[in-house]
């Protein structure tokens, strides 16, 4: 049925005249011979199977068609993912003969389905936030119940390794465990690991110099860059982009852009450095007297933007306030904290529910410090249901910037807070929202903005040609994968998943969609994350032949039309 | 047909028109041939019509096939002999996409035009003929539709039903029939007062018969003019919806091509990719305008003007 | 006469309000039936199922549909439109800022289009049946047939990306600081951003008044009193601009209101091309993000404007041509 519908769509406009399937040959001399006719507008063609692999007649009774839906996002939201979804779809149809249909949906549906594991196949991706340099997030994502979004994959051996690595505070010993965990994933193929596309950015070097890029998404919205940047004259630092914070209320963040804006105004105890490693910030040092206890020493020269001193009580208050009211987006960062107390003049003790190797690199690096004298009792005084509804226009933080103007969906002007201990060459930082990357890049080229990140390969090549603009492309540690529901047939079969991996031609897609600028991966820790990456994983590049042979050996067959069949349960 | 036509009593203008129909197709053809813009318009329509029908034959490649040379994609290349309109960012042939795109535009235009014609005419005649409460209710609906901004409405409906050609057409028809209904109704109101209708009623003809045998044929020229305009409008609107990223997802359309040039930043250099689809939409829409005018002129020779 | 006119206008007003209520109801139904969990857009991955439900309750999404509907109508009447899902700020606040931006662009374009269009239309009528007329009408039609987003793209391609004469979008430069509210809209910085969008949309909207003016003039020129003037030996020019134009102009002008409504409805597409932070763009973004309150009320705002302008057109036509009011008031139709 699904297939018919697709055909119907594909044949749109044909009317009585005739089908459009099978138009044009794949034997054109232009083609490299690597000719997969990918077809978003044509019915994809299946291969004629070898005769000994075909079942006919009454034998067909024992088999059922392998059919599934592949979910992905709209073109306007994620143009590249939209394209590669269709490319991979066509590869699987062509090479394996599966009956697959692409389902494009709004972020609400598709993302939700991913979180709730309500899919056959879901095209997913993880962005390379600096806090994900620590291997914990990505490894936990495949833990039976410890992680989020696990595709119904469960392997007790793997779970144990991840738990151990999370407790292990010795870096080298932990590395061993992390390597082993990756090995298991590569063997089990819970998802088809695809690639880690490079972070592509352009910076204007005519009007600004000395940028500091951060590992991962190659973000420039961080203190290290704003401290090092040197403008011509008194130009502010200007970010041009399409992401934009929806709120600067520290109790209301719901997306990463919100956190990026908030961290300018609200200090963190620890900030991740350009290399992703935790650096002292509001905390001068931290120690772990026990694996589940952290003592953090606070700087003593910090003040809130309204002039009050920053005290250890502010830190304890913040954690308690967060836990009392709940900020879903930050939940995983404050949840593991069992209690927090002031143990010395300037020392705050965090008692965790269990030992955590990633506490400083993830939790402390993401939690803000809020002023107790502003927020304590505020919801009650203002009659608010939740402090997230507070229309704060003061934005009293202790961070290096204060908010000068916040124009929704347009721009934020941050001014340097003069009493902050950190030094900046710029006087202010402007975050400007553009309608598209094209416009943002044009502004950077013109010298009206300092940088733009996350541009497409075509735009990147263009930026490279430009004088006074530097185009930077670096490998990063976020990644994309074909998520298969391990609890549904035929994805519950490891052999089938492996065959899918073999049939997936990543290199071709990397060339087409990313202009060659992506690392192919076999596990959740890409090469860019040098220390934790396991370079010795098995790769699945057997191609169509191997995939089909594996399927045959595992009991799969084809019908005469070339459609893949699996034995009935 | 002749039998039906002969039972109709005609206004002066329509008599002239009908005389022309009758006197032979040659006469109509003469009016037509004397109107160079209309001739050109017909040629353009025929061209795109043939292009759409024979797309698989005419198109040199599969519109969604990627081209590689030396293992590298042939992306965003200016026109060449192999690719007369160059290639896209995904190394696809713009020329072939352009050819296939004509299908969507014509399909959407024609289907939406016909559906609007059927709904609009029916509602218009019924409202104009029965008057009273029926009229009031139907025109209230039409009035309400006039209060709805078309593009955002289609945008939301398409999001609701899912992005596909069919849903775009459906959403467009749901809102576009309003003008047709209003125009047809007011013409019906005046027709219904004519002596020949009154006498038909007196002769005991059923309402249905009066509406569809006596009134409808007199509306034909008007219906044709209005339908052509709706077709033109629908084509433009579909392009706009596709440009918002919500049109046909499974097929190439001109609006979607333009969306991609815009969102990928190719408009900064790839004129070869931007011009063909936009120009084609313009030509197609323009042709329908001219066709509507010639229909108007043939049915009402003194007019010679455009309705917009 | 005046009583009848008043009666007519009151009736139109009543009907407009009914339309508005119907649109609001349709809108409510569409949005509540939309698939997808509306809480997702405000919820990050880390949020638990329970937290999700709490949020849904906070937004009243767990109430039965009819209860939601009553709240909805009450909220519209009291202009208490709640908070946007994405931005924690009130919907009214977000919409009003965007509305001004849309109005500035569209009112400017439509005004220019009508002024220019009337002149062009009169000129074409004067040159009727000449080659100039044929080509003139052709050009006007081309501008109407060309998708406005495409001409906008061509404009950007040439004047912004190629020559760098105008910005590629938005309404202000990055570092622009307004000196008071009005400075936002009269500063040279704003005008610099306005010039391309206004030019493109004006050329697009110009067709309707130009052709209507031409058509009306041709009608008027055929009327008896013009024949008499001609017979009296008045020059063609003087007949056209002193007498005929005046008679043809008024009907054209009351279309202006309808056109403005049309333009504002079409702002979705135009504003996307020029990254214009207006209501149309807001609807597009809010709908994509499933920000129900925001999308719903921006749509309702657009519909209110369109209905209001249609009503204004009725008022104008009642004044321009009193027969309308009398006839309508008597027959009960429209």
pLDDT at B283 over 80: yes
| B271: confidence class by pLDDT, cuts 50, 70, 90 | very high
Which residues have C-beta within 8 Å of that of residue B101, sequence separation ≥ 6?
A: B252, B253, B254, B256, B257, B277, B280
Provide the mean pLDDT of chain A: 85
Question: How many residues are given for chain B?
Answer: 308
pLDDT tens for chain C, 334 residues: list them.
Answer: 578 888 888 888 998 999 899 989 988 888 777 655 555 544 444 455 666 666 666 666 677 778 888 888 888 888 877 777 667 677 888 898 889 999 999 999 999 999 999 999 989 988 887 889 888 999 999 999 999 999 999 999 999 988 889 998 888 888 888 777 788 888 899 999 999 999 999 999 999 899 888 888 888 777 776 777 777 777 777 777 777 777 777 777 777 888 888 888 889 999 999 999 999 988 888 877 777 778 888 899 999 999 998 888 888 777 766 555 444 443 333 3
Q: What is the pTM of this model?
A: 0.85
| CA–CA separation, B233 and B281 (whole Å) | 11
Contacts of C97 in chain A (CB under 8 A): 408
| B42: confidence class by pLDDT, cuts 50, 70, 90 | very high
Spell out where A335-476 has E strands. Answer: 337-344, 347-352, 401-407, 411-416, 428-433, 451-453, 469-474
Which residues have C-beta within 8 Å of that of residue A62, sequence separation ≥ 6?
A: A55, A567, A568
State how far residue B43 is from chain A, nearest Cα, in angstroms: 20
Q: What is the pLDDT of residue A8?
A: 31
pLDDT at A195 over 80: yes
Judge whether A12 and B104 are in contact, CB under 8 Å.
Answer: yes
| B184: confidence class by pLDDT, cuts 50, 70, 90 | very high
pLDDT at B188 over 50: yes
B58 touches chain A (CB under 8 A): no
Spell out where C256-325 has E strands. Answer: none
Judge whether C325 and C5 are in contact, CB under 8 Å.
Answer: yes
State the average pLDDT over residues B227-254. Answer: 86
Helices (H) and strands (E) in chain C, counts: 16, 0
pLDDT at B89 over 80: yes
pLDDT-wise least confident of A524-528, B247-251, B297-301, C180-184: B247-251
Judge whether A204 and A466 are in contact, CB under 8 Å.
Answer: no
Pick from A437, A500, A482, A487: nearest CA to A123:
A482
State the average pLDDT over residues B243-264. Answer: 82
| CA–CA separation, C119 and C125 (whole Å) | 10
> HSE-up of B170 (CA within 13 Å, CB side)?
13
Q: What is the pLDDT of residue A449?
A: 94
pLDDT-wise least confident of A351-360, B20-29, C299-308: B20-29
| CA–CA separation, B148 and C134 (whole Å) | 35
Contacts of B264 in chain C (CB under 8 A): none
State the average pLDDT over residues A107-129. Answer: 85
What is the token pair recorded at A79?
A: 């143009």
Conformational region of residue B162, where left means phi above 0, alpha means psi within -120 to 50, and beta covers everything else: left
Question: How many residues are given for chain C?
Answer: 334
Most confident of A415-429, B68-82, B249-263, C63-77: A415-429
Torsion of CA C130, C132, C133, C138, to 10 degrees: 130
Q: What is the pLDDT of residue B113?
A: 95
A449 with C272: Cβ contact below 8 A: no
Q: Which of C40, C87, C168 sits opposite A246 (nearest CB)?
A: C87
Query: How many beta-carbon contacts under 8 Å exist across B and C?
Result: 154
Q: What is the pLDDT of residue A344?
A: 83
pLDDT at B223 over 70: yes
Judge whether A388 and A251 are in contact, CB under 8 Å.
Answer: yes
pLDDT at B85 over 50: yes
Contacts of C295 in chain B (CB under 8 A): 156
pLDDT digits (tens, 9 = 90+) for A290-308: 888 999 999 989 999 999 9
pLDDT at A107 over 90: no
Percent above pLDDT 90 for chain B = 48
Judge whether A325 and A377 are in contact, CB under 8 Å.
Answer: no
C19 with B156: Cβ contact below 8 A: no
Any idea which residue has 């160079």 for tokens?
B36
pLDDT at B275 over 80: yes
A535 vs B295: which has the higher pLDDT: A535
B37 with C146: Cβ contact below 8 A: no
Q: How many CB atoms lie within 10 A of CB A550?
A: 19
What DSSP letter does each residue of B129-153 carry, written as one string? Answer: HH-HHHHHHHHHHHHHHHTS-HHHH
B308 with C16: Cβ contact below 8 A: no
Q: Which residue of A has its CA nearest to B259?
A: A76
B244 with C268: Cβ contact below 8 A: yes
pLDDT-wise least confident of A192-206, A377-391, C29-43, C136-150: C29-43
pLDDT digits (tens, 9 = 90+) for A78-106: 888 988 999 999 999 999 999 998 888 77
What is the token pair recorded at B235?
A: 């084509």
Pick from B113, B86, B112: nearest CA to B98:
B86
C326 vs A431: which has the higher pLDDT: A431
pLDDT at B1 over 70: no
Q: What is the pLDDT of residue C324?
A: 53
pLDDT digits (tens, 9 = 90+) for A27-77: 333 333 332 333 333 345 777 777 778 888 888 888 999 999 999 988 777
Pick from A311, A288, A291, A316: nearest CA to A301:
A311
Q: What is the pLDDT of residue B64?
A: 83
| CA–CA separation, C127 and C78 (whole Å) | 55
Percent above pLDDT 70 for chain A = 91
Residues 108-127 of C with CB under 8 A from A: none
CA distances (Å), C29 to each of B218, C24, C75, C127, C302, in order? 39, 9, 16, 52, 17
End-to-end C-alpha distance for chain B, whole angstroms: 31
C-beta contacts of A401-409 below 8 A and 24+ residues apart? A401/A264, A401/A265, A401/A428, A401/A429, A402/A265, A402/A305, A403/A248, A403/A265, A404/A428, A406/A248, A408/A246, A408/C87, A408/C89, A408/C94, A408/C97, A409/A244, A409/A433, A409/C87, A409/C277, A409/C285
State the average pLDDT over residues B151-156. Answer: 90
| B249: confidence class by pLDDT, cuts 50, 70, 90 | low
What is the token pair recorded at A300?
A: 């003593």
Q: What is the pLDDT of residue A188?
A: 93
B262 touches chain A (CB under 8 A): yes
- Give yes or no for a cis peptide into A37 (omega within 30° of 0): no
pLDDT digits (tens, 9 = 90+) for A251-282: 988 778 889 999 999 999 999 988 888 899 99
What is the token pair recorded at A145?
A: 């119940």
State the average pLDDT over residues B39-43. Answer: 92
Strand partners, A477: none
Percent above pLDDT 70 for chain B = 87
Any idea which residue has 């606070």 for tokens?
A298
State how far residue C295 is from chain B, nearest Cα, in angstroms: 9
pLDDT at B2 over 70: no
């Amino acid at each position: 049925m699904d297939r018919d519908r697709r055909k119907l769509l594909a044949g749109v406009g044909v009317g009585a005249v005739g089908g459009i399937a099978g138009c044009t040959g794949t034997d054109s001399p232009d083609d490299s011979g690597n000719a997969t006719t990918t077809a978003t507008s044509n019915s994809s063609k299946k291969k004629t199977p070898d005769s000994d692999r075909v079942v006919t007649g009454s034998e067909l009774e024992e088999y059922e068609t392998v059919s599934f839906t592949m979910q992905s996002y709209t073109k306007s939201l994620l143009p590249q993912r939209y394209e590669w979804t269709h490319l991979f779809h066509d590869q699987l149809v062509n090479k394996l003969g599966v009956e697959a249909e692409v389902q494009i949906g709004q972020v609400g549906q598709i993302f939700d389905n991913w979180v709730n594991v309500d899919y056959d196949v879901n095209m997913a991706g993880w962005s390379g936030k600096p806090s994900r340099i620590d291997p914990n997030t990505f490894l936990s994502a495949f833990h039976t119940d410890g992680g989020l979004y696990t595709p119904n994959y469960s392997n007790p051996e793997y779970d144990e390794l991840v738990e151990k690595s999370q407790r292990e505070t010795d870096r080298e010993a932990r590395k061993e465990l992390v390597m082993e965990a990756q090995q298991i994933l590569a063997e089990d193929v819970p998802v088809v690991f695809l690639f880690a596309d490079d972070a592509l950015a352009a910076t204007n070097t005519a009007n600004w110099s000395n940028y500091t890029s951060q590992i991962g998404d190659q973000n420039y919205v961080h203190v290290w860059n704003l401290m090092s940047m040197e403008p011509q004259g008194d130009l502010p630092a200007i970010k041009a982009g399409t992401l934009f914070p929806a709120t600067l209320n520290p109790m209301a963040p719901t997306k990463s852009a919100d956190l990026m804006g908030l961290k300018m105004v609200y200090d963190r105890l620890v900030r991740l450095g350009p290399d992703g490693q935790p650096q002292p910030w509001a905390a001068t040092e931290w120690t772990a007297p026990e694996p589940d206890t952290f003592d953090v020493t606070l700087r003593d020269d910090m003040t809130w933007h309204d002039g009050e001193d920053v005290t250890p009580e502010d830190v304890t208050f913040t954690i308690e306030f967060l836990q009392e009211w709940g900020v879903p987006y930050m939940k995983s960062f404050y949840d593991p904290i069992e209690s927090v107390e002031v143990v010395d003049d300037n020392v705050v003790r965090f008692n965790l529910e269990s030992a955590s190797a990633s506490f400083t690199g993830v939790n402390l690096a993401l939690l803000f410090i809020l002023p107790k004298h502003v927020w304590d009792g505020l919801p009650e005084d203002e009659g608010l249901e939740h402090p997230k509804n507070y229309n704060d226009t003061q934005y009293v933080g202790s961070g290096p910037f204060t908010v000068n103007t916040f124009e929704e969906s347009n721009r934020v002007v941050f001014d340097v807070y003069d009493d902050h201990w950190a030094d900046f060459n710029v006087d202010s930082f402007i975050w400007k929202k553009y309608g598209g990357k094209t416009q943002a890049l044009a502004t950077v080229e013109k010298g009206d903005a300092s940088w733009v990140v996350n541009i497409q390969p075509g735009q990147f090549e263009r930026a490279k040609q430009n004088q006074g603009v530097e185009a930077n492309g670096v490998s990063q540690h976020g990644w994309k994968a074909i998520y298969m529901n391990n609890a549904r047939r035929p994805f519950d079969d490891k052999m089938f998943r492996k065959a899918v991996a073999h049939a997936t031609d990543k290199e071709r897609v990397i060339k087409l969609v990313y202009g060659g600028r992506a690392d192919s991966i076999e596990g959740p820790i890409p090469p860019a994350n040098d220390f934790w990456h396991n370079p010795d994983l098995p790769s699945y590049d057997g191609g169509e032949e191997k995939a089909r042979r594996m399927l045959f050996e595992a009991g799969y067959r084809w019908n005469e039309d070339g459609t893949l069949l699996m034995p009935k349960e | 047909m002749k039998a039906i036509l002969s039972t109709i009593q005609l206004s002066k203008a329509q008599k002239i028109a009908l005389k022309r129909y009758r006197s032979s197709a040659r006469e109509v053809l003469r009016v037509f041939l004397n109107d160079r813009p209309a001739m050109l318009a017909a040629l353009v329509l025929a061209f795109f019509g043939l292009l759409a029908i024979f797309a698989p034959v005419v198109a040199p490649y599969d519109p969604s096939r990627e081209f590689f040379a030396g293992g590298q994609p042939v992306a965003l290349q200016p026109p060449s002999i192999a690719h007369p309109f160059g290639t896209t960012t995904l190394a696809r042939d713009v020329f072939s996409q352009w050819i296939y795109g004509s299908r969507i535009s014509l399909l959407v235009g024609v289907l939406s035009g016909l559906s609007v014609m059927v709904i609009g005419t029916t509602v218009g005649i019924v409202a104009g003929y029965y008057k009273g409460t029926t009229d009031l209710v139907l025109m209230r609906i039409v009035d309400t539709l006039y209060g709805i901004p078309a593009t955002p409405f289609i945008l939301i409906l398409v999001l609701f039903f899912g992005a596909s050609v069919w849903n775009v057409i459906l959403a467009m028809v749901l809102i576009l029939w309003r003008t047709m209904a209003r125009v047809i109704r007011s013409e019906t109101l005046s027709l219904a007062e004519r002596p020949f209708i009154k006498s038909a009623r007196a002769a005991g003809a059923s309402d249905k018969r009066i509406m569809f045998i006596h009134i409808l044929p007199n509306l034909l020229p008007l219906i044709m003019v209005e339908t052509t305009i709706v077709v033109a409008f629908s084509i433009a609107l579909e392009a706009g919806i596709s440009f918002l990223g919500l049109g046909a997802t499974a097929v190439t359309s001109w609006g979607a091509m333009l969306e991609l040039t815009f969102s990928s930043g190719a408009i900064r250099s790839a004129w070869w990719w931007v011009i063909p689809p936009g120009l084609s939409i313009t030509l197609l829409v323009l042709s329908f305008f001219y066709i509507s005018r010639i229909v108007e002129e043939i049915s009402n020779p003194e007019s010679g003007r455009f309705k917009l | 006469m005046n009583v009848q006119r008043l009666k007519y206008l009151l009736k139109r007003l009543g009907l407009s309000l009914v339309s508005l209520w119907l649109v609001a109801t349709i809108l409510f139904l569409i949005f509540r039936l939309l698939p997808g969990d509306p809480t997702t857009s405000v919820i990050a991955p880390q949020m638990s199922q329970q937290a999700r439900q709490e949020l849904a309750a906070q937004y009243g999404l767990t109430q039965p549909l009819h209860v939601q509907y009553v709240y909805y109508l009450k909220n519209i009447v009291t202009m208490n439109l709640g908070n946007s899902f994405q931005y924690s700020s009130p919907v009214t606040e977000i919409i009003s800022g965007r509305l001004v931006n849309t109005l500035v662009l569209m009112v400017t374009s439509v005004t220019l289009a009508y002024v220019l269009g009337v002149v062009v239309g009169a000129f074409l009528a004067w040159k009727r049946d000449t080659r100039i007329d044929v080509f003139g009408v052709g050009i006007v039609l081309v501008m109407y047939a060309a998708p406005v987003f495409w001409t906008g793209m061509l404009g950007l391609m040439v004047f912004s990306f190629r020559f760098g004469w105008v910005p590629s979008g938005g309404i202000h430069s990055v570092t622009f600081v307004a000196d008071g509210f009005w400075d936002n809209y009269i500063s040279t910085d704003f005008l610099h951003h306005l010039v391309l969008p206004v030019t493109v949309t004006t050329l697009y909207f110009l067709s309707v008044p130009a052709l209507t003016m031409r058509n009306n003039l041709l009608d008027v020129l055929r009327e008896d009193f013009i024949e008499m003037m001609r017979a009296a030996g008045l020059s063609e020019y003087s007949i056209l601009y002193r007498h005929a134009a005046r008679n043809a102009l008024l009907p054209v002008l009351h279309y202006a209101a309808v056109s403005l409504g049309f333009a504002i409805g079409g702002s979705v597409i135009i504003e996307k091309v020029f990254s214009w932070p207006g209501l149309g763009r807001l609807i597009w973004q809010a709908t994509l993000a499933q920000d129900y309150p925001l999308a719903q009320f921006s749509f309702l705002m657009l519909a209110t404007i369109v209905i209001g302008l249609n009503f204004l057109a009725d008022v104008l036509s009642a004044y321009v041509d009193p027969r309308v009011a009398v006839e309508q008031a008597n027959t009960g139709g429209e």
